[in-house]
Amino acid sequence: MKRKIVVAVTGASGSIYAKILFDKLHEIKEQLNEVGVVFSTNALDIWKYELNEDFNPESPFCIYEKDDFYAPFASGSSKFDTLIVCPCSMGTLGRIAHGISDDLITRAADVMLKEKRKLIVVPRETPYSLIHIENMKTITLAGGVICPATPSFYSKPQTIEEVAETVVERVLNLADFNVDSFQWGKSNF
């Protein structure tokens, strides 16, 4: 069954995670019906600054403006089943945790939580303050998944892209996609 998901990109540092996520989603597009994409106010600026390129969407990506509350996933009646916020700023995380639906990203997160659908938040911040930790706890208790942008090194990544890929593959596994990724115990050491 093909899936309808949303990817939200905020202005947190870590655009490489979003870029690799889009690349991986493009690779598994046969598993997707539609991917709604939303960028926060400064996410595209951070993308261009960190990656030295503009965002160039390809099918199956459909771009929505951050204030477009007519987007299908702004309502629980839509068939979108997963929202991935990658990277997620602490400001966005705090608004999600406290139900402040002031843009399409936070509204989509509110919809996922109230409808008991999958919300995966990928915070890219260090260190965490107690406020950050409490907000992550609140989202977790509400049914969301916090997957910090913390790479693993079991797969012995050789490039910065491969390091970032370890996080993205974990996110896609959490979202129940079939992706070819490193699995502990299934590789030679």
What angle is formed at CA 108 by the lines to CA 8 and CA 105, rounded to 5 degrees?
40
What angle is formed at CA 35 by the lines to CA 88 and CA 105, rounded to 5 degrees?
35
**Per-residue model confidence (pLDDT) at position 187:** 58
Q: Band of the pLDDT at 181, cuts 50, 70, 90?
A: confident
Q: Is the pLDDT of residue 180 over 90?
A: no
Domain boundaries, the chain: 3-174
User: Of 26, 39, 38, 32, whose CA–CA distance to 5 is shortest?
Assistant: 32
Which pTM was predicted?
0.95
For the four alpha carbons of 164, 145, 111 and 172, in that order, the dihedral sign comes to positive
- Which homologous superfamily does the CATH classification assign to the domain defined by 3-174? Flavin prenyltransferase-like (3.40.50.1950)
The rounded distance, in Å, linking the Cα atoms of 4 and 1 is 10
Structure confidence by residue, pLDDT tens digits, 116-156: 999 999 999 999 999 999 999 999 999 999 999 999 998 89
Quick one: tokens of 66?
């951050």
Structure confidence by residue, pLDDT tens digits, 1-23: 799 999 999 999 999 999 999 99
Quick one: tokens of 121?
């938040």
Structure confidence by residue, pLDDT tens digits, 24-67: 999 999 999 999 999 999 999 999 999 999 998 877 799 999 99
Structure confidence by residue, pLDDT tens digits, 21-31: 999 999 999 99
Q: Is the pLDDT of residue 167 over 90?
A: yes
The mean per-residue pLDDT over the stretch 83-101 comes to 98
**Per-residue model confidence (pLDDT) at position 179:** 86
